[in-house]
Amino acid sequence: PAILPAPVLLLALLALLAFWGPEPAQAQTSGAAAPTDLVSSELPLPGYADPEPSDLRHVVERFSQDRAVLGRRYSLASPRQRERMEAFYQEWIQQLDALDYQALNVEGAIDWQLLRNRVEYELSRLEVAAELEAEAGVLLPFQYDIVALHEARRDLEEVDPREAAETLHDITEAMGEARARIAGARDEGTLDGVELSPEVAMRAVNRLGQLRQHASQWFSFHDGYDPMFSWWVRTPWEAFDESIRDLETWLRRDIAGMRGGNDDPIIGDPLGREALVLDLANELVAYSPEELMEIAEYELAWGREQMLEASRELGFGDDWQAALEHVKGLSVEPGEQTRLVKEFALEAEEYMLEHDLVTLPEPVREVWRMEMLSPQQQRTAPFFLGGEVVRVAFPTDGMAHQERLMSLRANNEHFSRAVVHHELIPGHHLQGFMTSRYSTHRSAFSTPFWGEGWALYWELLLWDMDFARSAEDRMGMLFWRNHRAARILFSLAFHMEEMTPEEAIDFLIEEIGHEPAAAEAEVRRSFTGQYSPLYQAGYLLGGLQIRQLHRDLVESGEMSNRAFHDHILKSGRMPIAMVRQSLLREAPPRDYRPSWRFHPQVP
């Protein structure tokens, strides 16, 4: 076939790109860009570019890929795994320190700071992991015998079937002995200086699950492919597999008290103040845990005052609990919640466009979808979840009567209105859409202060813009704002061992106005290992950080709303202190240390 001349190919490429092009920079509409908007621009097309390409983008990408592949190679925690990862991180510190920092552009300097900070944090986490593993080893003294089987397979060492059978037999015997020692120490409550608490028991359960998974992979790798291995090992393997499963179940049920029912205890793992300080350093937050709790107390007091104003407007005087009960009763009929969510989603989108707050590129409004949360999912997620798919909470016909009533009340119209824009647009859906297209390398620096803080920030800004239509709407928005302040208080207090999960539930019911089932689900979700220690605190704290940046840059007249919000989305996920540097277009000094105090009441 004939080959087209290069100029013709270039025009064809430009025409094709124009078909998928971004919106015109001059105006925000819901329609596609005209072809001339792209043909007239030079390559690379501005609509597809990061705000300022980072000099270190490819360096960060290389780090992420290398760390990921090493994580897959050394997938089971062990001294050898930590030794390899420590060497990896030390190598990266040396490489970063050898770079000419002054030659980097602003975004490159930001990436240098982010990457070095992350490497130092990961090194510290290795030390914490070693301590926790040693503690688990008191309950599971055989753990490294299983690790040795896994590491030999990863090293592609030849296996001696008879020796492997004897090893499995010995480990099975050791598991029985370990169980007997733990049982004998239950009355005393300690074993070799380690407290036999539910928290320690669940750490051992989780460790056993990892060991069992990797042992199973080791066995499956050889069984059936090596006839001598199968002849020698299959029988002792069956005894081993039964024993490790029994030990895992016994520790979970009898020591931790987790029997798989609705009344299972909430077992968290308080890490202590030192671990919180380490995590705050990783987030580049220049506040102590105690100062953050002071901020939360201030925000909660402010929210209560605002709630009292709304309560008086609704005719309930200073009885804000009664006013909140009134709002909880304003739910749509069964079957109508999805219609309501759609209305709220479209309302928020149109508000963004009407006030020119942020770019909504095609096809972000087109592609979000809706699913319902099952009754089981609502045990730990009693409200909506979001992103590209918004997952809606509402009672089902399979719930018990009281569960239905609590779900109905917790997902009333005015609570739900405040949730929809948090989860979809301009919140998590828009956020995910943009971060998958711009500054994608910064996913390595993902943080709840940016991820959850962005969605929460919009609740703060929309409150200030009088987005609420009524006193009931204000009560709904205030419920969530107070809830996020409470999250800071109970999550930090829990990890500093100043509050128990049960006390956190009571706090949410009495001080925030949660339904009992929703309060329990919230605390269970917060403390059962799904989230990092600062995750729940990151919502309001991250939102307050961005809100202060908005005051400094938009309300001062230096930037438009749209330019401000677009820049944050396009510059990618990272601690908000570095978002600030990017917005200011100021490279942080090489010896940067967090110093930004973002809350006016705790300067």
DSSP conformation letters of 385-425: B-SSEEEE----TTS-HHHHHHHHHHT-HHHHHHHHHHHST
pLDDT value at position 50?
Answer: 66
Q: Which pLDDT tens digit goes with each residue over 96-106?
A: 999 999 999 99
Write the DSSP assignment of 69-107 as a string of letters.
HHHHHT-S-SHHHHHHHHHHHHHHHHHHHHS-GGGS-HH
pLDDT value at position 380?
Answer: 64
pLDDT value at position 26?
Answer: 32
State the pLDDT confidence band at 481, using cuts at 50, 70 and 90: very high
pLDDT value at position 17?
Answer: 35
Phi, psi of 362 (to 5 degrees): -70, 145
Mean pLDDT of 460-478: 96
State the pLDDT confidence band at 49, using cuts at 50, 70 and 90: low
Q: Which pLDDT tens digit goes with each residue over 496-523?
A: 999 999 999 999 999 998 888 888 988 9
Mean pLDDT of 359-382: 84
Lowest mean pLDDT of 13-17, 105-109, 163-167, name the range.
Answer: 13-17
For the entire predicted model, the pTM comes to 0.87
| Phi-psi group of 370: left, alpha or beta (phi > 0 → left; psi -120 to 50 → alpha; rest → beta) | beta
pLDDT value at position 213?
Answer: 98
Q: For the chain, what is the mean pLDDT?
A: 89
Mean pLDDT of 10-15: 37
Q: At what angle do helices 143-154 and 198-222 cross, to 10 degrees?
A: 40
- Residue 180, classified by CB atoms within 10 Å of its CB into exposed (0-12), middle (13-18) or buried (19+), is exposed
Q: Would you say residue 10 has pLDDT above 50? A: no
pLDDT value at position 579?
Answer: 98
- In single-letter form, the type of residue at position 370 comes to M
Between these two residues, 502 and 10, which has the higher pLDDT value? 502
Which uninterrupted H or E stretch holds 194? Answer: strand 194-195
Question: How far from 57 is each of 69, 85, 107, 304, 540, CA to CA, in Å?
Answer: 19, 22, 9, 45, 29
pLDDT value at position 15?
Answer: 39
pLDDT value at position 47?
Answer: 63
pLDDT value at position 529?
Answer: 67
Q: Would you say residue 31 has pLDDT above 90? A: no
Give the strand pairing for 194-195 and 369-372.
unpaired
Q: Would you say residue 443 has pLDDT above 60? A: yes
Domain borders along the chain are 6-48, 57-135, 140-255, 296-584
Please give the Cα distance from 90 to 92 (Å, whole number). Answer: 5
Mean pLDDT of 39-43: 38
Q: Would you say residue 7 has pLDDT above 80? A: no
pLDDT > 90 fraction of the chain, expressed in percent and rounded: 73
Between these two residues, 454 and 41, which has the higher pLDDT value? 454
Q: Would you say residue 250 has pLDDT above 90? A: yes
Q: Would you say residue 39 has pLDDT above 80? A: no
Between these two residues, 49 and 135, which has the higher pLDDT value? 135
pLDDT value at position 29?
Answer: 34
Q: Which pLDDT tens digit goes with each residue over 299-357?
A: 999 999 999 999 999 999 999 999 999 999 998 888 888 898 899 999 999 999 999 99
Structure tokens that stand for 29 in this block = 């509409």
pLDDT value at position 45?
Answer: 56
pLDDT value at position 483?
Answer: 95
Strand partners, 369: 389
Closest CA to 451 of 569, 581, 281, 549: 569
Contact 429, 52 (CB under 8 A): no
Contact 294, 544 (CB under 8 A): no
State the pLDDT confidence band at 405, using cuts at 50, 70 and 90: confident
Q: Would you say residue 20 has pLDDT above 50? A: no
Contact 85, 125 (CB under 8 A): no
Q: Which residues of 43-71 are buried (b: 16+ CB within 10 A; e: fewer)?
A: eeeebeebbbebbbbebbeebbeebeeee
Q: Would you say residue 30 has pLDDT above 60? A: no
pLDDT > 70 fraction of the chain, expressed in percent and rounded: 91
